[in-house]
Structure 1
Amino acid sequence: MELNDPVLIHWMDWDLLSRLGAAAILGILLGLDRELRGHEAGMRTHALICFAAAAMTVSIIALYGQLDGTRMDPLRIFEATGAFVGIIGAGLIVFSRGQVHNLTTAAHLWVAAVIGIACGAAQWPLVVVAAIVSLLLLTLLRLVEDKDDGRVLGRKREPRDGEA
């Protein structure tokens, strides 16, 4: 059996560390909102998914380059990541008392995986835009939803005088 050449530890460089490090840090930041609100998938879960997606992407890109693209489809990384995050997301989503819970958390895990893939592929403009937009969506839209429900930052607003 013919194997690819090993990648020695002294070949580790700043490019690899920046790809994986950015994924881990962004995963932590993406999970911070969920953690602060007491949801199931918090900083550790988001960081691990984002980091794992980046590591898988770096690995598949390196293997593709080493094997000269013979009988290999590097885009299958999206399929594997999607299936894995789908399983985790399905386990998080709960239907209770006529309401769906943890749907946003499951969707946010998918965003963390996509950002991890982008970090692994060193698609830095995509990483920046995706991280900023997802953080804004989570925080700003939460404020809008809370005001619409008569709540402020997740807490039920006390009725004022004259309100029922």
Structure 2
Amino acid sequence: MEQLLDEFRSTMDIPWSIWSARLVGTVVLCGLIGFEREVDKRQAGIRTHILVGLASALYCIVMQHLVVSDEFATDRVRTDPIRVVEAVTQGVAFLAAGLVVFHQGNVRGLKTGATMWLSAAIGLACGLGLWGLAVTTTIIAIVIIVLFRKIEQKAGTHVPGHKNAGEKEA
């Protein structure tokens, strides 16, 4: 029983307040991007973007723990932190690619796929404690998405929801 209790008492080198802040920050920042997708009535909205970012941040925090852990500080085990970034990038790219479809001569889901990929990158930045980078990227992304939507609306090329460009509303 004591071993089981010890399992739950184990600590990380990163204080819980720091990793908690990183996870909560990820939820907020990725939630902002997901909210924009939700407002535009896209298939991947606030929850999806939060979960993608949250998973990315979690992988970073786990990786940071593994890199400094005595358990893995042997000659037999080599750690390479960049592999986490590569794995997250590949995994999210796979998810995002599933959203992109070619339908009746139009590509759909590309921007949503790109924002999911961006949410993963923001999650990685939060997970690594790179707050300035994460916040600045989120602000720039939202400005780009909102500004260009307005430009597209004025030009008549933006069609909200799942309709294809050129379709009339019923």
Tell me the TM-score range normalised by the shorter chain.
0.7 to 0.9
Gap regions ≥5 residues in structure 1: 157-164
SS across alignment from 2:42: coil
Other-structure match for 1:8? 9
Instruction: Indicate conservation of the 8 Å contact 1:146/1:154, yes or no.
Output: no
**Deviation for aligned residue 1:129:** 0.7
Match of 2:83 among 76, 82, 104: 76
Name which of 30, 33, 53 aligns with 2:33: 30
Give 3-state SS (helix, strand or coil) of 1:95's partner: strand
1:2-151 aligned within 5 A = 8=9, 13-66=16-69, 67-68=72-73, 70-149=77-156
1:37-83 CA distance string (max 9 Å, x none): 11010000000000110000010011001134851101111111111
TM-score normalised by length of structure 2: 0.80
Letter paired with 1:124: W
Q: TM-score, length-normalised on structure 1?
A: 0.83
Shift of 1:13: 2.1
The residue type paired with residue 15 of structure 1 is: I
8 Å CA contact 2:41–2:160 kept in 1: the answer is: no
Matched residue of 2:95: which SS?
A: helix
Counterpart code for 2:26: A
Considering only aligned residues, what root-mean-square deviation do their CA atoms show, in Å?
Answer: 2.4
Identify the residue that residue 160 of structure 1 maps to in structure 2.
none
Identity %: 32
